[in-house]
Amino acid sequence: MKSTIAQVRTYERSVQLLMVNQFTINLGFYMLMPYLATHLAGPLGLAGWLVGLILGVRNFSQQGMFLVGGTLADRLGYKPLIIAGLVLRIVGFATLGLVDSVPALLAASAATGLAGALFNPAVRAYLAADAGERRVEAFALFNVFYQAGILLGPLVGMLLTGVSFRVTCLVAAGIFALLSIVQIRALPARRGDDAKGEQDQEGVLSQWRGILANRPFLLFSVAMIGSYVMSFQVYLALPLEVRRLGGDGTFGTAAVALLFAVSGLSTIFGQTKVTAWCKARMEPGRALVWGLLIMGVAFAPLLAATAIPVPDGGVGLWLLAAVPPALSALLLALGTMIAYPFEMDTIVRLSGDRLVATHYGLYNTICGIGITLGNLLTGVALDAARDAGMSALPWMALLVLGLVCAAALYGLHRTGRLAPPVRDTESELATA
């Protein structure tokens, strides 16, 4: 960790703030969100469909508004959108802890989702702009802070929720309030390198049409959906498999916690080393291919485990329930460590350093829709596997998904579609 902190200090103050910013955002978010469904269904006594609706509104308001948030960041500057998103999170989290009416809960859930749509594209575009030629390394460090927040947040939330869920909400809102003050005072104003006059002359719809006409960017976005579907299985399919074999008791809970610990700690301690190794030995396109390939292969241990007869109990059952999922979580983390920094850098390169936040916004929307559909299909595969006695089905499907996405990226890399677009130099000179 000392080397990681030393590396962070070599960046500008704005980049350092953005990394701390993302850690704190994830800390506050994951303090609260893992326990929201239990609060809604338990103390508030809401029906299951209402719980699903409230959680779904948060996801929809975030995924559906990413493009708008990115566009506003490019037009108004990155800092105002970061601050606006943080303030919305304060309001949303405080409201979730203080109200019990369904309309107010829906509004608070929508506010927390919209907050993410405002600051996520802005933070990434700001980081890419100020990191300059060291973007890949900066996004590697960014992922360390990102995962640290995910790892620590639920632990803090568990302690606070033991007192009351209202305390958790208010503490999370307080964290975002403190972060807002720090960002207002210390984060320099920043906007993209696009000339303001060009932004004003070109309408929003025209900008969106231009991005939608960027075929390499769209193909890359679709090809990367699989990486998000696969990585999300640490929170969906892998815990369900652990509990299917290990039960819902103390062992099952500990084994699920092990999944999250393996995923988060491996990233915290290995991300910068993995990125440095990959950057020294391969092109960005090849790194992306290898990252998705490893993520697909991550489901091989679970696939192989289906060929082993399930023991009636004892140590054998515990090992079968814990070891293959933990190994899969480790491989998923490794694949993500390889791909993520180059993924974020490729988006900037495919945008031609123009309207970067808008590109990030559309990319997040495309991947968000893909995650929703992918998780739905994964759930269907898990149910079908259980009903038909075909436990290998979901792991085979996810392995094939990884291979297909890796092959798609390999095709994009080999055909040069992951290279930066060539600008029309003559046109630029004539305009100048």
Query: 1-192 with 211-418: one CATH topology?
Result: yes
Average pLDDT over residues 259-284: 93
Average pLDDT over residues 31-51: 86
Reduce the secondary structure of 224-235 to three states and give it as a string.
Answer: HHHHHHHHHCCC
User: Can you give the pLDDT at residue 193?
Assistant: 64
Q: Residue 124, Cα to own-chain centre: how many angstroms?
A: 12
Query: How far, in Å, CA of 122 to CA of 100, rounded?
Result: 32
Average pLDDT over residues 211-235: 93
Taking alpha carbons only, the member of 37, 68, 7 closest to residue 361 is 68
Average pLDDT over residues 12-28: 94
Question: pLDDT, tens digit, for every residue of 116-128?
Answer: 999 999 999 999 9
User: Can you give the pLDDT at residue 430?
Assistant: 40
String of b and e for 267-282 (b: at least 16 CB within 10 Å)?
bbebbbebbeebbeee
What single DSSP character describes residue 284? H
User: Can you give the pLDDT at residue 427?
Assistant: 40
Query: How far, in Å, CA of 94 to CA of 96, rounded?
Result: 6
Least confident of 51-60, 80-89, 91-100, 189-198: 189-198
Q: Which CATH superfamily is domain 211-418 in?
A: MFS general substrate transporter like domains (1.20.1250.20)
% of residues, the chain, pLDDT over 70: 95
Is the distance from CB of 77 to CB of 129 less than 8 angstroms?
no
Check pLDDT > 70 for residue 268: yes
Check pLDDT > 90 for residue 307: no
Question: Max alpha carbon distance in the chain (Å)?
Answer: 77
Check pLDDT > 70 for residue 108: yes
Average pLDDT over residues 350-355: 92
Average pLDDT over residues 195-211: 74
User: Can you give the pLDDT at residue 423?
Assistant: 56
How many CB atoms sit inside 10 A of residue 312's CB?
7
Where residue 431 falls among pLDDT bands split at 50, 70, 90? very low
Average pLDDT over residues 265-293: 95
Structure tokens at 302: 């679970």
Average pLDDT over residues 364-393: 85
Check pLDDT > 90 for residue 282: yes
Query: How far, in Å, CA of 401 to CA of 113, rounded?
Result: 28
Query: How far, in Å, CA of 99 to CA of 195, rounded?
Result: 45
Check pLDDT > 50 for residue 195: no
Q: At what angle do helices 78-98 and 13-32 cross, to 10 degrees?
A: 20
3-state SS, residue 298: coil
String of b and e for 101-138 (b: at least 16 CB within 10 Å)?
eeeebbbbbbbbbbbbbbbbbbbbbbbbbbbeeebbbb
The overall average pLDDT reported for the chain is 89
User: Can you give the pLDDT at residue 50?
Assistant: 87
3-state SS, residue 306: coil
Average pLDDT over residues 14-25: 94
Query: How far, in Å, CA of 164 to CA of 230, rounded?
Result: 34
Domain boundaries, the chain: 1-192, 211-418
User: Can you give the pLDDT at residue 191?
Assistant: 82
Where residue 198 falls among pLDDT bands split at 50, 70, 90? low
The string of DSSP letters for 87-136 reads HHHHHHHHHHHH---HHHHHHHHHHHHHHHHHHHHHHHHHHHHHHGGGHH
User: Can you give the pLDDT at residue 289?
Assistant: 97
Question: pLDDT, tens digit, for every residue of 81-98?
Answer: 999 999 999 999 999 999
Question: pLDDT, tens digit, for every residue of 394-426?
Answer: 999 999 999 999 999 999 999 999 887 665 444
CATH number of 1-192: 1.20.1250.20
User: Can you give the pLDDT at residue 250?
Assistant: 78
Question: pLDDT, tens digit, for every residue of 136-182?
Answer: 999 999 999 999 999 999 999 989 988 999 999 999 999 999 999 99
Is the distance from CB of 255 to CB of 325 less than 8 angstroms?
yes
